[in-house]
Amino acid sequence: MSRLTLAGTIPLDVPQGAGRGAPLPPSGRGLYPMFLMAVLATVTMLFAAFTAALLIRRSGSDWIAIELPAIAWVNGGVIVVSSALLELARRALRSGAASVAPLWLGLAAALGLLFLAGQIVAWRALMAEGVFLPSSPHAAFFYMLSAVHGAHVLGGLGALGWTLRSALRGAYTATMHRGLSHAAVYWHFVGALWIYLLILMRIA
């Protein structure tokens, strides 16, 4: 282990061979965890602002609560099961069953797609009842929140697709599956966020 000095002030421990083509040891610390935390913090602040706006707006005299379509609650179950399957994929890797992980990953991603399809069904169900975006503030919030959340789910599906591709190529092992772990954290987050939004819209 050699020591380097950054800008002449901060000593850094660098493994021997680093800088000469030798791979660095696996570590959970680095750019990716910081980026993930930044994304989660940003999304949290965004939906916190939406929550505050909803709570303020609901005091208006024109606030008329709508009945959420049943499919919206079914979607909650779909995304929870998807998160559970993703966790099975991670546990499969940790136990050394790397060949099974792609199956759980693929099923988790398929349920994510099913969730998005369910959101479209929910909107169509509301429209069939004559409830549109301008029908009431409560309806507008449901359409907006579900759309913004759906966009984040779509981003999560992109991450799941990338991890599935990596898993099929054998890039993950029992000790090296950081990409999958980060995708799982984000996916669990958007799943919990949908449950929160359902409760928020139900009590509003």
Supply 68's token pair: 């959420």
3-state SS class at 3 = strand
Helix, strand, coil percentages, rounded to 5, for the chain? 70, 5, 25
* Distance (Å, whole) CA 148 – CA 78: 18
| Token output for 195 | 């449950």
Q: Is the dihedral of CA 103, 108, 109, 113 positive or negative?
A: positive
Lowest mean pLDDT among 19-23, 89-93, 150-154, 186-190: 19-23
Burial (Cβ within 10 Å: 0-12, 13-18, ≥19) of residue 61: exposed
Of the candidates 122, 123, 118, the one whose C-alpha atom is nearest the C-alpha of residue 80 is 118
Residue-averaged pLDDT of the chain = 88
pLDDT of residue 8: 43
- Which region among 10-24, 27-41, 73-87, 186-200 has the lowest average model confidence (pLDDT)? 10-24
Cα–Cα nearest to 170, from 74, 118, 73, 97: 97
With 0-12 CB in 10 A as exposed, 13-18 as middle and 19+ as buried, what is 93?
A: buried
Cα angle at 1 between 32 and 31, to 5 degrees? Answer: 10
- What are 19-75's pLDDT values in tens digits? 444 444 444 456 878 999 999 999 999 999 999 999 999 999 999 999 999 999 999
Q: How far is CA 144 from the centre of its chain?
A: 18
